[in-house]
Every structure is written in structure tokens, then in C-alpha cells.
Structure 1
Amino acid sequence: MERHRQAVRLVSATVRSLFERSEPYRIWHGSTNSTRPPHQKAGARVVDISGLREVLSVDAASRTALVEPNVPMDRLVESTLPHGLVPPVVMEFPGITAGGGFAGTAGESSSFRHGYFDETVRSVEMVLPDGEVVTARPDRGDEYEDLFRGAAGALGTLGTTTLLELQLVEAKKFVRTTYRRTSSVGEAVRVIREECAAEKGNDYVDGILFSKDHGVIVTGKMTDDLPSEDEHVQTFSHPWDPWFYMHVRDITKALPSSSSSSSTSSSSSSSSSSPSEGTVTEYIPLAEYLFRYDRGGFWVGQAAFDYFKPVPFTRFFRWFLDDFLHTRMLYRALHGSGESARFIVQDIGMPYESAEPFINYVSDELAIWPLWLCPLKTPSGPSFHPHLRQRQPEPPVSSSSSGKEKEKEKGKRTFDEMLNIGVWGWGPSDRQAFVRANRALERRVDELGGTKWLYAHTYYPAPEFWRVYGSGQQKQRYEALRRKYLATSLPSVYDKVSVKVDNADAVTTSWKPWLKSLWPIGGLWGIWKSIQSKDYLLHRRATWRWRGGDDGVKTRKAKEA
């Protein structure tokens, strides 16, 4: 803990010095999961907090962990599992950090129960823009409650997070995972909402739409038990394992819709299946489930094969190139190559009633498949997180409650339900057409009452951005917090997320971006940058990966076409 205090004192002194000289600065974390153009981050002084990357303690009695902001999800899980605990919300990419989950937006397949990642944070230590170090909690009456609420999702524009206290929950050995086939967009949206009901008892819910007539809703329940000693365990972290989305597609393609009364032959998978119900069930070790999308980055890793077209997208080459096909390496290559300027990576939070029209729009206008579906419990009212812009009425306070009970009920946060739709695929190669496609997407999202994740390319003009994200007095509250905590010299959320189209066009006239635009120079440069990072060693050394043989259980190598 003393090492941590010394590091924070250094950060504090550096920030105070810059504040006194009125110099703008940005924070260097050591890595990023943003797809925003890197040139937008140039030109400011850097405060390096990349050394704050340790899990300081795990308290099994209180089910909490003290972690520094640059602790990635895989190291966090490796630290908590020996205590029989796991974070309630674990971002599916191992390299996403705890600090990034708090300052950004992180909603995953457990978020229909637990909300965004910041809802599982009990306190944060922050260095304010004048160098003062404070601890903020979400509790009513806490001196810095407004700072905690305002900083969640505000992308570090109110201060620098240096420590988080996380709530943990009981972990179990496996996730009993069920794949439920659907045959229409409407059915998929209906089923995923049904699976979020409390009586279903699910710990995890998400879905994949491979097309309008092939969707799969994936539900998971943590368990320590297998139905028999001979039950196989499915893994996704080893080089010869299938990529998760391909595995789901292949074992469900022969199944009928779960709502169909017809009976068809079952999948060739050795997993237990009920074809009349349109489901397949298998057992996945917990950490393997949490990071099941790491290899291939959901399905966008296939874009690397699209780029290097002479390399076939076969199981052999996915095995042979496995070091390059984990999300840490893919992000390094994406930024190094400059290909993020041609790839649409957008996460959209939509009201359930708008989900089908939006998916139809993506299909008709962008022809991007698959799509990811993730149900979310989102905060009611203003937020930089995706949220329902038409706030649902809060439940009434019972007239029979006592004064203290009424005050407690009023203080409770209320939540709404919505659906995250992940839209990830190639966009137009022409720069102007790419921007137009993204702007058209933003307008359609706005028309349907949705909001975007802000980690991605964002092209809103300032008035439109603040109309979408600053409604319900959010802008006024946010600006008041910036004044109160002396953060007006820092970039605002809009300053950080808005892609400066004019600047981007100016940058592309220089020789380096022009050279990288020539195939295959950009791709090879991206590979070289990813190799330099040595991030491939992090996966090779990961201790969360299922090694097999535990309790006499054998690991199944799934059949793959």
C-alpha cells in the first residue's frame, strides 16, 4: 500500500504543477480499448499512471477488492477466483481495465442484473485537477457523492482515478450455458428480454444475430456441479479451440426455432440438446466463459483475414496465427495500421421497442452481420452511459412507510431496461463515405430514442451531442461539477469523443498515413506494432485458462467445419 501512496503522491504533484501553470494534459494508461483516432490525443502534456496496475487486496469476508485503475480484467479475475469470488460485471476483453470500466461505459452479459460496471464500485480514489486527492463513494450523504456519480462514464474529465474498491460475488466453477435458437429478429428481441426475468435464475444473458432468420440467445447459470463425471467441458482460450461465435453458430444451425413446434434432427455437437425446444446446453469453466470472446474479438478478428486475403480463414491459420488474434493484439494492430478509419465499431443502447427497426436499418443500409445483443439494466435519468432518454416513472413511495423509510426509498437509484446492439464490420473505404455512414447511423439511433457508447467514432456536432447526452439537466449538472472541482481546464466529454473530421483529413495528407493506406503496408505495420508490445505473452502466461483434468473432467475439442 505504501508503494501505491507514493505513486499517487507523484501523480498529485505532477497534476498540481500543471494546474498552477494552466497547462492542459492527458492521462497515459499504457493501453486503450477506444477506437477513436490516436492523432486526436496528440499535443498535450502526459501524466503517466501506467504503473498503477496492481490488485492491492482481496477481502473474502467483505467480498471486496482494492484495485488500481490499470488492472485488466484477466488479472483481476485471477486474483479473486482463488478466494471463491468474482466481480459481478467482467468485461469480456481481458485487457479492459477497472479504471476504464468506471470512467467509460462497460456493460456485459451480467449487466441485466448488476447494471454497468460502475454500479459494482463501492468507492474511488481520485486526483482532482488541482492535485487534491479525495475518496468518493456513491452513498447518500457522502461528501463526494456528486463527484462519484458524475465521474462514472465521464471519461476522466472530472479527475484521475487512482484506486477503486470493487464489490465481489460468489464464484462457481462452471457456467451452465444454454444456446436457444431463434428464427426472426422480433423473436430474438422477445426471447432475450424474457430470459432476463428474475424467475429464470440466469446469471448471464446475451445473444448473437447471424442473420434475420438465425439468432441465438445465450444464457448462463453458475454452478459447481456437472451432471455426470463423463460430461465434457468446452473451452475457448486454447489455440485449437473454436472461436466462440463460430461454435455457437455451428451447433445451432440445424436446430429449429425455440418457438417452433416442429422437430428436426439435432446438431452434431456432443453437447446435450433438445431439438424440439431449439436449445443446446454445455458446461464452460467460469473464466473461459467470461473471456469467451477474446479470441477473434467477437468476430471482428476475421477482418484481419479479409485484409490479408491470400491468407485463408481456416482453422489451421487461426491456430497458427493465434498469438495475433487475441483482443490485446488486435487493438494494437488496429491502431498501428490505421484501419480503424475504415471499420465501423459502434455499440448502441436501444429501447426494446426500437431494437427491431434499428436492426433492420443496419441490415438494409450497412449489411453488417453478425450483431451482438446484450440486455442492460441502465440508470434512469441523465447519464453519459446509454440510457432511456424518455425516463420511466419512478415507483411511488408507500404512504404507510415511516419518515426514514420514505427517505431511504427516495434515495434508491431507479433503473430501466434496454438492449445493447453491437455493430462491428467493414464500412466504406472512401473517407467521406465512411463519415457519412457513421453520421447516418447516429441520426437513426437518435430518431429511435437510442444512445451510443462513447468509446467509438463519434461525429455529432456539438449542439446535437448535448441534446442527446445533455438532456434532463445533465449538461448543467456536468458543467457545475467541472466548475466545482476545478476541471474546466480539462477537455470535456465532447472534446474527448468527437472525431475532428477536418483534422483527420489534414492528417491523411501527410506521408505516413498515405503510406499505411497502401496495401499491405498498413497491415504489416500494425502487426509489427503489436509484436513490439509483447502483449501476446500476457495470454500465453494467463493462469485463468482451463487446463483440463480437474476432478476427472475431460476437455472437449469441439468439432468445427
Structure 2
Amino acid sequence: MSRSPARIAHDRAVDALRAQLVAQPDGSPIRLAKPTSNLFRFREPPPANALDVSAFAGVIDIDTAAGTADVGGMTTYENLADATLARDRMPHVVPQLKTITLGGAVAGLGIESSSFRNGMPHESVLEMEILTPDGDVVLARPDNEHRDLFRGFPNSYGTLGYALRLRIELQPVKPYVSLRHVRYSDAAACAKGIEEACATGSGEAADFVDGTVFAGDEMYLTLGTFSDQAADVSDYTGQRIFYHSIRDRVTDQLTVRDYLWRWDTDWFWCSKALGAQHPVVRRLWPRRYLRSDVYRKIVAFDRRHQLSARVGRLLRQPDREAVIQDIEVPVERLAEFLEFFDAEIGIRPVWLCPVRLRESHGWPLYPMEPGRLFVNVGFWATVPLGPGQPDGTHNRLIESKVTDLGGHKSLYSDSYFTEDEFWLRYDGETYRKLKQTYDPKGRLPDLYAKCVGNR
């Protein structure tokens, strides 16, 4: 078959990247030179010899008839969505933040309000072209000799290799999404509402389901459905703030693009801590900078220079612990988790997102039970430490509770598991076999070293 100019350029970029990697001395650490990150395990900037992967940030081909796209692994979902929406298509799951990359969402997992129906981003991947640490490029599919890598790549966080090209399934879209915000006065009722919405859409077929908890007696499910027409389209990309509208409106309508990025403009609600929701600041803040990657750079600068911590010490305030996590618990244990969370942590608001694996076989490094409905709970803030409490106190408490409830924890942020605890939760036996096969020289850190040791 003839290759398109975009595919020819991609293949040349693969050869150039392999040459970069092979030229590095044996034993030298491998890092990617990426301009953005959505991880909250802050590391030192990549070294001068970091691999240049900028050539893999683009859509190679969209086949509307087949309902598929070939995409570079470093392509952001913002660019991917723009390319596919122009063809009236979108990925099955589009994570909430614009600069999450497709390869990052597959290697590090992702979730959104379509996940109750479509699972996670890696479940709509048909094949992956993966650069291994020794410089080989393998094509991993669910039915070929690299099927174990295909199944073990999700939740490997770049410790087995890097996805250079992925072929993914797409779904048709309509121009608008109509929203309905349903209020619940307690967590048990909300959990039951989630089960009903994910089964029947509360009387209508829901395309999207997520939720927001403002208080123990004030929580909302937002049910979204595709629509061909809209009488009055809202805009939350400027002065208006999406999460405020959940409390103020029963129904709403957005363009499909604005729906996909409804949380990005204010980083859910975290922009408030940076002053971006103050009315005066909001009017002066350029609209193009109301986005999650800008806020994360501000937080990274603050972390690097310890500005907030220094001010807190000058004001004699207690030390604070960053509690930035996403966890999943079975829907029937959601109320129990939220009760614990209110009593021990106290962060508000929190985000709820139901998820059910699309595939019946499961994925070894993030062993959720297929067919079972879980609810992702996302919370991103700091909490004060009590006298004598070390940093990590609250995160360890959450890790323990989630395990007790039969749940899981995402690894994009700080983790405090012991090594034995970690491998028990994330299938150490399967991981070690994959590591020996695809990185026998240990040129990349293992999953525990990267996600807990922050290497």
C-alpha cells in the first residue's frame, strides 16, 4: 500500500528518534523532552540529551469510513479533538485537560464522563507502535506476538517504552451537548443515582455522566446527551465559570468542543487558589491563558521555589500537605468513602466520574474488575498538618481506605506505598516479566521507582 506524506514523515521521525536513543551511552537514563506535563510528581527538568519527540505531536490520518485515526503519541487531546471534530468524530474518551497527550493517557490512564460507557482511553486503541528502551520499535496489537505488551502498557507510565503512533477508534458526534444537573442531598442517594444514570440515563439515554460534590448534603450529577440543535448555548471560556453553573442551572447547552473542555478553563475549580476567579483578576487575565497548563506552570514554579511554604512559615501557619489524587471505589462503597473523606480530609468540592471497563478481560497493571461500576473521586488541594504529623499523613490514610474499600488509586501524583504493597496492588508478577522482556538492561526506572520514588 502507498504511504501518505504524513506517514512517510512519521516513519522518518521514527528512524531519527531511534538513532538518538542508540547514540546514548549504555546505562545512561532515558528521558523525553516534553514541553508540558499533567503529572503531579514534579521532577528535575530533563537533561540536555533528552529525546526530542516533537515530531510525534500530530494526527497522521483519519479514516471516517473505518472510524479510526492514526495519531502520534505526543499529540495533545486538544489537537486531536480539533482534528476529529472537524470530521464529526471524537475519541471514545477525551480526558478533561487539553494538554494531556494520547500516549500519556494510555500509558498513565485517563477518564472522563463517557467512561461509564466507553471505559478508559486505552480500551479504544487498536494498535501501538512502541519504542523500547534498547532502541527497537515494535507493533503491539491484541492478537500478535507483542500482545502481552499491548495489555501491559496501560498504567506503565513510560517504564516499558514510549508509544510513537497509536491507531484508535472514533465515535460520531453531534454539534451540541445538552446538560441536566440533578441534585442529591446525601451520598447514598447520589450513588444510587449514578447506578441508575449509567444503566438507563435516568429515563433518557445519557452519553455523559459525571458529578460534583459541594457539601455532604449538596451534590449533583450532570447528565449530558448529544443534540443536533441548541436554543441557547452557554460559554464558560471567559468570564463565566462552569462549576458555578452546576448549582445555578438545572439545564444547559454547550457546543461539543466547549463541553469537552468545560473543566480545563478553570482546572475544574483549582484556578480559584491562584486568584483567577476573582472578578477583577478575571477581567484582566487574558482569555488565552485561562487554561490548565498555564495554572500547572504556576504551581510548578511555586513548588520549585517554595513560595507558598515560605509565606506560610512567615505567617506562622501550619504546614500543609498536597492532597492531589484520583481514586476509584465500587459504586456501592462510594457513600462510605465520602463519609470518611469528609471526616478525615475535608476537601471540597470533589469530582465524581463513573467508570466501567469496556473490555471483559481487564488490564493487568490496573486490575479493575470487568463489568463492575466504579466511581472515580478526584480531589486536588492542600490540607493542614496537625502537630507532629509528617508530610504524607493524609495521602497514606486515603491509600489505606481505598484499599479497604476494594478500590484503586491513580499514580500521576505522590504515592506512599511500601514496595510490597505497591506490587500487590499493581500486579508485580506481570510487570516484572514485561520489564525483563522489553527493558532487560533496566535503562528506564521500574514502575515503583518512578511512581513512588519519583525517579
Normalised by the length of structure 1, the TM-score is: 0.72
1:81 and 2:85 correspond: yes
Matches of 2:271 and 2:437, distance apart in 1: 44
1:281-338 CA distance string (max 9 Å, x none): 2221101101000111001111113xxxxx9x53332232255441010111111110
Matches of 2:441 and 2:385, distance apart in 1: 37
2:328–2:375 contact (8 Å) kept in structure 1: yes
Give 1:195 shift.
Answer: 0.4
1:424 and 2:343 correspond: no
Matches of 2:83 and 2:289, distance apart in 1: 25
**Match in the other structure for 2:106:** 102
Aligned pairs for 1:121-520 within 5 A: 121-138=125-142, 141-198=143-200, 200-226=204-230, 231-237=231-237, 239-240=238-239, 242-251=240-249, 280-305=250-275, 313-321=277-285, 322-338=287-303, 342-378=321-357, 381=362, 383-385=364-366, 387-388=367-368, 391=369, 414-428=370-384, 433-470=390-427, 475-489=428-442, 490-499=444-453
**Match in the other structure for 2:3:** none
Equivalent residue of 2:37, what SS?
coil
Matches of 2:288 and 2:257, distance apart in 1: 19
> Partner letter of residue 376 of structure 2?
N
Matches of 1:109 and 1:499, distance apart in 2: 31
Match of 1:28 among 5, 28, 33: 33
Equivalent residue of 1:427, what SS?
strand
Give 1:45 shift.
Answer: 5.5
Matches of 1:459 and 1:50, distance apart in 2: 33
Give 1:415 shift.
Answer: 3.4
Report the CA distance shift for 1:441/1:65 in structure 2 as closer, same or farther (over 3 A): same
Match of 1:7 among 3, 13, 16: 13
Kindly report the root-mean-square deviation, in angstroms, between the aligned alpha carbons of the 2 structures: 2.3
Percentage identity across aligned positions? 31
> Partner letter of residue 133 of structure 2?
P
Report the CA distance shift for 1:495/1:45 in structure 2 as closer, same or farther (over 3 A): farther
Equivalent residue of 1:156, what SS?
coil
Matches of 1:23 and 1:243, distance apart in 2: 46
Would you identify which runs of 4 or more consecutive aligned residues in structure 1 move more than 4 Å?
41-45, 339-342, 379-382, 429-432
1:179–1:218 contact (8 Å) kept in structure 2: yes
Report the CA distance shift for 1:88/1:148 in structure 2 as closer, same or farther (over 3 A): same
Give 1:43 shift.
Answer: 7.2
Give 1:198 shift.
Answer: 4.8
Give 1:14 shift.
Answer: 2.4
Q: Where does the alignment leave 5 or more consecutive residues of structure 1 unmatched?
A: 252-279, 306-310, 392-413, 504-561
**Match in the other structure for 2:56:** 52
**Match in the other structure for 2:315:** none
1:434-472 CA distance string (max 9 Å, x none): 3112112211212222111110111111111112222xx
Matches of 1:85 and 1:32, distance apart in 2: 26
Matches of 2:438 and 2:218, distance apart in 1: 50
Matches of 1:283 and 1:315, distance apart in 2: 24
Normalised by the length of structure 2, the TM-score is: 0.88
Matches of 1:132 and 1:499, distance apart in 2: 27
What is the total number of aligned residue pairs between the two structures? 428
Structure ID, larger Rg:
1
Matches of 1:45 and 1:149, distance apart in 2: 30
> Partner letter of residue 282 of structure 1?
D
Matches of 1:86 and 1:384, distance apart in 2: 27
Matches of 2:232 and 2:362, distance apart in 1: 45
Matches of 1:333 and 1:371, distance apart in 2: 22
2:364–2:430 contact (8 Å) kept in structure 1: no
Matches of 1:126 and 1:299, distance apart in 2: 36
Report the CA distance shift for 1:368/1:488 in structure 2 as closer, same or farther (over 3 A): farther
Equivalent residue of 1:24, what SS?
coil
Report the CA distance shift for 1:289/1:233 in structure 2 as closer, same or farther (over 3 A): same
Give 1:499 shift.
Answer: 4.4
Give 1:48 shift.
Answer: 2.3
Aligned pairs for 1:527-542 within 5 A: none
> Partner letter of residue 344 of structure 2?
E
Report the CA distance shift for 1:488/1:417 in structure 2 as closer, same or farther (over 3 A): farther
2:321–2:394 contact (8 Å) kept in structure 1: no
Matches of 1:435 and 1:112, distance apart in 2: 31
Matches of 1:62 and 1:377, distance apart in 2: 25
Give 1:429 shift.
Answer: 6.3
